[in-house]
Each structure stands twice: as structure tokens, then as C-alpha cells.
């Protein structure tokens, strides 16, 4: 199944929330029972549902254990909701949401989540909250799982860093990173060994940690023609550091940096620099892991 991911700004809304548990092996049954409970609470409280029922997953779904979730439904507020119901109405702020739809069994939802993760990576977004599933056609309406229609929503924000994790030792990762950056037109202008600097000047030990400053001379020239203060943002600082699983290579998104310093006229240069950095780091991910 192909998944089309869209980015939307959700509007603020009042949502009735009901905590419950669902079991992976009885997911359809538990979702249907939760929806019926939500419907009963809505009616008893004199509320009016104004959208599809939802479940928000604050934790990953385990393979064989029940998990606590929040059932919900958008509502028009009313005053008759008592504490004995175990539910509450909260006003949810509007936020930027990546969403996609899945038709079919809940057991196949993993492909939709994978499509969302891939879209976020390729589009430069990161999640800022738990995913919510909206049951546009739920098990309380149809018995054939092929007719189920579920919308998955993930609150997102533009990522402020471009990063890749390499299954390679620190020294090998440094050489690969510098080669990739230079191959894509980015010149190394400075290197700082943070581990050695802290050891020599502060008597402190940390993991292998190197800062590499890079820039594209042609982009730097274009930026300076536009704004003489472009020196604040025309160089990118790449961090290469050891982690438990290998080595991380990270760099701040030039678009984010331009926004912070308020130099909007440099946006086109920042966009091109971001593209080069992204391609360079992606080439590290796609390369065959180096041997130790």
C-alpha cells in the first residue's frame, strides 16, 4: 500500500480523554470497547462529539503486554462531566502535524508508521509528541478488517540538526565524514579536538569528540554580497563524537541558524548549504560500513 503523507496545522480543539488499556493480541476488540465507553461518557455528560475517536500512544506497543493509552474524541464542551467517569475534557493547542491514512487491519499499521518516519527524515522534521490514531472507520462500525480506515497523526517541528549515526570507529568515521563533505564542495577550515582540549586545560575526560568547521567558498561569497554579517552563519560546525553504538556526525541546520540571527536575506544560501550537508551526511549512511 502506498502512503501519502501531508503536513497540516491542526486547529485548537476540546478533547474528551479516557485512560484505558489495550492488548496487542486483542487490539480490535479493545479499541471497539474503548470507543463504546467513550460514546457512553459523551452521552451521559451531554457532550456533542465533533470528530472521529482517537487513541494516543505515549509508549511503544509491546509484543505481548497490555499498554496504557488515552482514548479521545473532539467534543463541544458541556458542564455535566463528573469525576466518577474517569474522563476529562482538555483543550488541545493547535500544532503542526504529519499525517497519513491506512486502510486495512491494525496488524499492518507498522508500514504506515514507517512511511511517516521516512517522510520526516527526508523532509527534515522530527516528532515532538506521541502519535495519535484517529479511527475514521473503526471496528465499532465494520466487521471486515479490510474496511477499517485509520489516520495516524504525529506532531512535528522542523529539525534543527542534520545527523547520521555510523557503525564505524571514531577515527574511521572522521575520515569518511571529511571525505564526504569535501566531495560535496565543503572545505574544512578548522578542527578542534574537544577531548584533548578539555583534558589539557580543564583536567576532564570525555569521549572522543571533534569539531570540524566547513564552508563552501562560492556560497560564502554569495552570502557576503547579500549581507556583510553573513560571516555569522556562512560556516557550518560539524560535530563528530563517539557513542555506544559507533559514531555520531551532527551539524546544525543552516536554515535554523539564519532564523535565529534574523538574517532572512540569506535564506536561499542557507537552503543550498543545507542541501549539500544533507546529501553529504546521507552518503555516509548509504556507504558500506568501514571495517575496524
Name the E strands within 167-227.
187-193, 209-215
Task: Supply 135's cell numbers.
Answer: 479511527
72-81: burial string, b at 16+ Cβ within 10 Å, e else: bbbbeeeeeb
The CA–CA distances, whole Å, from 100 to 134, 152, 192 equal 10, 6, 43
Cα distance between residue 135 and residue 192, in whole Å: 52
DSSP 235: S
Rounded Cα–Cα distance for residues 170 and 209 (Å):
9
CB within 8 Å of 38: residues ≥ 6 apart: 16, 18, 53, 71, 72, 73, 87
Greater model confidence, 263 or 29 = 29
- Rounded distance between C-alpha atoms, residue 57 and residue 153, angstroms: 11
Q: Which of 41, 47, 45, 50 is nearest to 11 (CA)?
A: 50
pLDDT at 217 over 60: yes
pLDDT tens across 168-185, in order? 999 999 999 999 999 999
pLDDT exceeds 80 at position 268: yes
Query: pLDDT value at position 260?
Result: 61
Helix H or strand E segment including 75: strand 67-76
Here the cell at position 89 is: 475534557
pLDDT(292) > 60: no
- Beta-bridged to residue 238, according to DSSP, are 212, 251
Q: What is the pLDDT of residue 290?
A: 42
Question: Could you tell me the pLDDT band of residue 81, with boundaries at 50, 70 and 90?
Answer: low
At 64, the pLDDT band (50, 70, 90 cuts) reads confident
Task: Report pLDDT for 158.
Answer: 80
8 Å CB contact between 165 and 245: yes
Domain ranges of the chain: 5-158, 161-286
- 14-23, 123-132, 155-164, 256-265, range with greatest mean pLDDT: 14-23
Cβ partners under 8 Å of residue 39, min gap 6:
49
pLDDT(264) > 90? no
Task: At 283, list the grid cell.
Answer: 552518503
What class is the 5-158 domain?
A: alpha beta
Q: Which comes out higher in pLDDT, residue 241 or 268?
A: 241
Whether 212 and 238 have beta carbons less than 8 Å apart is answered as yes
pLDDT tens-digit series, residues 19-58: 999 998 898 899 999 999 999 999 888 888 999 999 999 9
Pick the CATH number of 161-286 from 3.30.1540.10, 3.90.550.10, 3.30.310.70, 3.40.50.11780: 3.30.310.70
Give dist(CA 114, CA 120) in Å, integer. Answer: 10
Task: Give 288's pLDDT tier (boundaries 50, 70, 90).
Answer: very low
Which DSSP symbol is given to 60? P
Q: Identify the residue with better confidence: 292 or 146.
A: 146
Any idea which residue has 540571527 for its cell?
Answer: 261
- Residue 88, beta-bridge partner list: 17
For residue 262, pLDDT over 90 is answered with no
Q: What is the pTM of this model?
A: 0.62
Considering the chain, what percentage of its residues have pLDDT values greater than 90? 58
| Mutual angle of helices 267-286 and 170-183, in 10-degree steps | 130
Instruction: State yes or no: pLDDT of 249 exceeds 80.
Output: yes
Q: What is the pLDDT of residue 84?
A: 58
Q: What mean pLDDT, rounded, does the chain reach?
A: 88
Amino acid at each position: 500500500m502506498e502512503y501519502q503523507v501531508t503536513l497540516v496545522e491542526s486547529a485548537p480543539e476540546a478533547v474528551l480523554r479516557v485512560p484505558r488499556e489495550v492488548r496487542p493480541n486483542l487490539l480490535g476488540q479493545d479499541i471497539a470497547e474503548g470507543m463504546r465507553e467513550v460514546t457512553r461518557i459523551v452521552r451521559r455528560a451531554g457532550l456533542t462529539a465533533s470528530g472521529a475517536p482517537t487513541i494516543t500512544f505515549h509508549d511503544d506497543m509491546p509484543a505481548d503486554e497490555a499498554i496504557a493509552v488515552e482514548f479521545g474524541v473532539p467534543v463541544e464542551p458541556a458542564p455535566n462531566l463528573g469525576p466518577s467517569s474517569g474522563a476529562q475534557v482538555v483543550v488541545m493547542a493547535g500544532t503542526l502535524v504529519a499525517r497519513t491514512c491506512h486502510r486495512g487491519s491494525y496488524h499492518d499499521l507498522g508500514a504506515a508508521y514507517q512511511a511517516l518516519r521516512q517522510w520526516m527524515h527526508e523532509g527534515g522534521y522530527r516528532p515532538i509528541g506521541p502519535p495519535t490514531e484517529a479511527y475514521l472507520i473503526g471496528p465499532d462500525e465494520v466487521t471486515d478488517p479490510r474496511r477499517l480506515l485509520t489516520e495516524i497523526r504525529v506532531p512535528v517541528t522542523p529539525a534543527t540538526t542534520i545527523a547520521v549515526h555510523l557503525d564505524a570507529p571514531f577515527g574511521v568515521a572522521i575520515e569518511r565524514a571529511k571525505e564526504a563533505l569535501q566531495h560535496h564542495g565543503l572545505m574544512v577550515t578548522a578542527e578542534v579536538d574537544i577531548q584533548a582540549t578539555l583534558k589539557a586545560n580543564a583536567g576532564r575526560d570525555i569521549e572522543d569528540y571533534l569539531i570540524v568547521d566547513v564552508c563552501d567558498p562560492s556560497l560564502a561569497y554569495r552570502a557576503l554580497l547579500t549581507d556583510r554579517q553573513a560571516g555569522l552563519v556562512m560556516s557550518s560546525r560539524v560535530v563528530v563524537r563517539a557513542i555506544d553504538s559507533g559514531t555520531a556526525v551532527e551539524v546544525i541546520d543552516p536554515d535554523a541558524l539564519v532564523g535565529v540571527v534574523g538574517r532572512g536575506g540569506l535564506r536561499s544560501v542557507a537552503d543550498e548549504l543545507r542541501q549539500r550537508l544533507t546529501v553529504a551526511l546521507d552518503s555516509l549512511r548509504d556507504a558500506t560500513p568501514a571495517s575496524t
